Homo-oligomer: A and B are copies of this chain.
Amino acid sequence: MPDSKEPQPPRNWPQNHPSGLDDVSRRYRREGDKAADFVVTENFEQFNQIDDVFRRSQWDDSIRTENSEQFYRSHVLPKPRKGDGFTQRDFAFRNASWTLANIFSDRGEEEGRREGFLDPLDPYFPKAEQKIEVEDPTRIAREIKNICKFFGAHIVGITNIDKRWHYQNRYDLKNQGDRPNDLPDGLTNVIVIGHAMDYDLVQTYPSALAGASCGSGYSHEAASVVQISQYIRNLGYEAVSSMNDTALAVPYAIKAGLGEYGRNQLVITPEFGPRVRFSKIFTDLPMALDQPKKFGITEFCNICERCADACPPKAIPRGQPTEFGPNKSSIRGVVKWTADCEKCFGYWARMGSDCAICMRVCPFNKDFSKWYYRLARNLAGTRLRKLILVLDSRLKLNKRVKPSGWWGKQGD
């Protein structure tokens, strides 16, 4: 997002601004916003989880439909059909891939909780009484990142807590209303953990089969964060395991230097492009913080609208970033590309599985273990970006792979 658009703080910022921000967070702008390309205006409001389109599909009859109900139900009781990618085997695999995440999210359902979606994942064991001594924050940051990778993380960044990106309230499943978005006192840092989604499966979007890249992402995340946060508690520090609950992952991933924001609403990373799921661990362990990193995504997305072109319900914006989204399921007062979540989720519900065509068609969705894609990625961050975009389009590198083709490979 261009710096010229960055607004100045208003002169008379009210002390009792309705945003629900605490004392420290009351000012809408923060040091470091420029480095992260965050353009936050005086209309900023913390997002309330109840307005998330998935939550609205539970309480808002303009979103909840027969299709949306079957979409959720299909994760345990699918209705397979004949189309390639939607057979019993496709749903069987997609649903199996969610198992681990489901086991966690089901644990507190009776109390209106859903771990990893509405609520942090419960700690297995409380923190140790004895704290280890942290002498060198840079060294412990490196060590923690390696431990995260041991437990399954693909990329890791560390940043400080910024309450602007936390939900005003959590959503309570039982009473279908707000619930305080509380965290233990004294937390200072966020470890942002990225898990790459499976490249070959993502190439089959849209399909129920492709949804296994999403489900297994969630399952990996759940497994990783409960173990990483237990490690930190065992060192005598507080650690809260968070997936989609508690706070927005996207600004935290950007702040932690893991990638840049793209037109397709995804954080584009140098390692895996847009094919990354993020989770977070809130902690008071002192660690050296990472800085946002740019590698030309904003400039590239300015000239590329491939995700907008490919989106079946036309939910992805063209043109320049804007301050407000098309409806209440988007955060207000942040200048950015904002999709129409109602259109997006409506398509998921009609199709009967999650969609990430915008992820598949992104020119940065490549297997960067190959040197020529790394070269192209690096050139895409220079003035040659237009050439790279044209070449990428000509070569049709992001064509959908047939689900039956994916299955063929498994049996051969």
Contact = CB atoms under 8 A, between A and B. Distances in A.
Given A407-B143, A412-B142, A227 B132 contact: no
A88 interface: yes
Interface in A218-266: 219, 223, 226-228, 230-231, 234-236
A95 interface: yes
Most chain B Cβ neighbours within 10 Å, of A125, A216, A226, A230: A230
B128 A99 contact: no
Contacts of A96: 151, 227-228, 230-231, 234
Contacts of A401: none
Contacts of A136: 411
A279 to B, nearest CB: 15
A33 B183 CA distance: 59
Most chain B Cβ neighbours within 10 Å, of A130, A146, A228: A146
Most chain B Cβ neighbours within 10 Å, of A96, A219, A412: A96
A100 interface: yes
A88 B130 CA distance: 9
A89 B235 contact: yes
Given A97-B227, A223-B100, A226-B100, A128 B407 contact: no
A216 to B, nearest CB: 7
A390 interface: no
Interface in A130-181: 130, 132, 136, 139-140, 142-143, 146-147, 150-151
Contacts of A219: 223, 227
A99 B227 contact: yes
A124 interface: yes
B125 A76 contact: yes
B99 A124 contact: yes
Interface string A334-345: 000000000000
Contacts of A125: 76, 95
Given A89-B235, A92-B231, A410 B99 contact: no
A302 to B, nearest CB: 37
Contact of A411 (B128, B143, B150): B143
A71 interface: no
A391 interface: no
A99 B236 CA distance: 16
B410 A143 contact: yes
A102 interface: yes
A338 to B, nearest CB: 34
Given A88-B128, A92-B128, A227-B96, A411 B142 contact: yes
A93 interface: yes
Q: Which 3 A-B pairs have the closest CB atoms?
A: A92-B234, A96-B231, A146-B410
Given A92-B132, A151-B216, 18 more contacts: A76-B125, A88-B128, A88-B132, A88-B236, A92-B128, A92-B234, A93-B234, A96-B230, A96-B234, A99-B124, A100-B223, A103-B226, A136-B411, A142-B410, A143-B407, A150-B212, A216-B227, A219-B223
14 contacts: A88-B132, A89-B132, A92-B132, A95-B234, A96-B230, A96-B231, A97-B151, A100-B223, A100-B227, A103-B226, A143-B407, A146-B410, A146-B411, A150-B212
